[in-house]
Amino acid sequence: MFRKLSIACTLLAVATAAYAGEQEQAERHILRASTTIGLPVIDPEGEDLGTIDELVVCGEHDRISHAVVAAGGVLGIGATLHPVPVEAIDVYLRGIDPAVRPEWVAEIEISPERFQEAPAMEDDEWNLLADPEWTEALDEFYAAEPVEERGEREVYQASDLVGLSIYDRTEEEVLGRLHEVVFREGAGEVLYGVLAFGGLLGIGEEWFAVPWESLTPIQPVEGEPVEHLRLEADLDEEALSELEGFAQRAWPRTADERFLPVEPVEPVEPIEPEEPVEPIEPEEPVEPEEPVEPIEPEEPVEPEEPVEPEDPEEPVAEPDDEELPS
């Protein structure tokens, strides 16, 4: 009985922890790249550390991997750029004064003095964030636990992606532009990109929450800036014109499944032709056997003449005793 109760309690604890994790993930804020860039960054005591200057999109894992904090300088000039793993940043709404409108802030659990010693990079060293050794050093400094293995990957600046044209799968037709990148706080999972379609000068546009895995950055030359994005869903301009987007005052928390990428059809391996069957060589004709000469019937044997029976000998008369001479 005790063992059953113990197992039941263990299962309940595991289920409760899993549920709590799901709840915590669900309660994470849904953030937009354009409004996250520019947020003030503070320490736990409220001391100013800088502002978020850029967000780094990891192409391999479809997530925001780092926020680049600009510290010091004047109006962005002469600032030091500190890349910070998103796992080490907490974004929340801070109410400084009930009479003042609350503001969104990003908090890092680090002191201003310690933050000055944080790894930094120059404005032309974005490729460092694709170096696994360098990003592992960042994780160690901020005691961050990355959600994926650090490896060589393509990285993009979010502000460079926003505004780019989005083409259809054939890359022959422009469907619209990338209006926004939407991600979840904490792990930095990119939920979707907003495709702005139609309208004129931004008026009358339809907005669609396109799954991030359906948008492929296209670089004409490897290492060069992204030129445009390709929509991997099987939709063209005519099909989009018949769809309804989301209300611009009610941003969705999930992507629109109508824009899921089309799975590529795996090429069918050609069937190798069977090796031709070698023709069977005809057997050499069998020479006919020489005909057997018929056996001539033996001449009939003439029956022997019957042997005539011999005449029986006449019996010899024995003399009577009486007639013998004395």
Q: Looking at the predicted structure, is the pLDDT value of residue 80 above 70?
A: yes
Lowest average pLDDT, out of 50-64, 238-252, 309-323, goes to 309-323
**Helices assigned H by DSSP within 132-214:** 132-142, 158-161
Q: How far apart are CA 175 and CA 168, in angstroms?
A: 6
In the predicted model, what is the mean pLDDT of residues 73-97? 86
Q: How far apart are CA 277 and CA 211, in angstroms?
A: 54
Q: Which of 189, 257, 190, 200 is nearest to 229 (CA)?
A: 190
Q: Looking at the predicted structure, is the pLDDT value of residue 211 above 50?
A: yes
Find out whether 286 and 217 touch, Cβ atoms under 8 Å: no
**Structure-derived torsion over alpha carbons of residues 249, 183, 127, 133, reported in degrees to the nearest 10:** 160
Q: What is the pLDDT of residues 233-244, one digit of tens each?
A: 999 999 999 999
Q: How far apart are CA 119 and CA 320, in angstroms?
A: 176
Q: Chain-centre distance of CA 117, in angstroms?
A: 39
Find out whether 245 and 206 touch, Cβ atoms under 8 Å: yes
**pLDDT for 280:** 75
Lowest average pLDDT, out of 34-43, 143-152, 232-241, goes to 143-152
Global pTM value: 0.71
Q: Looking at the predicted structure, is the pLDDT value of residue 192 above 90?
A: yes
Q: Chain-centre distance of CA 148, in angstroms?
A: 15
Q: How far apart are CA 7 and CA 202, in angstroms?
A: 59
Q: Chain-centre distance of CA 11, in angstroms?
A: 31
Q: How far apart are CA 34 and CA 56, in angstroms?
A: 12
Q: How far apart are CA 148 and CA 58, in angstroms?
A: 11
Q: How many residues does the chain have?
A: 326
Widest CA span of the chain, in angstroms?
204
Find out whether 264 and 292 touch, Cβ atoms under 8 Å: no
**pLDDT for 24:** 45
**Helices assigned H by DSSP within the chain:** 2-27, 33-36, 112-116, 132-142, 158-161, 237-241
Q: How far apart are CA 268 and CA 228, in angstroms?
A: 31
Other CB atoms closer than 10 Å to residue 75's CB: what's the count? 6
Domains and CATH numbers, the chain: 27-158 (2.30.30.240), 162-263 (2.30.30.240)
Q: How far apart are CA 241 and CA 232, in angstroms?
A: 17
Q: What is the pLDDT of residues 53-77, one digit of tens each?
A: 999 998 877 899 999 999 987 766 7
Q: How far apart are CA 138 and CA 142, in angstroms?
A: 6
Token couple for 326: 């004395």
As a whole-number percent, the residues of the chain with pLDDT over 90 amount to 54
At 263, is the pLDDT very low, low, confident or very high (cuts 50, 70, 90)?
confident
Q: Which of 62, 29, 30, 34 is nearest to 178 (CA)?
A: 34
Encoded amino acid at 148, one letter: E
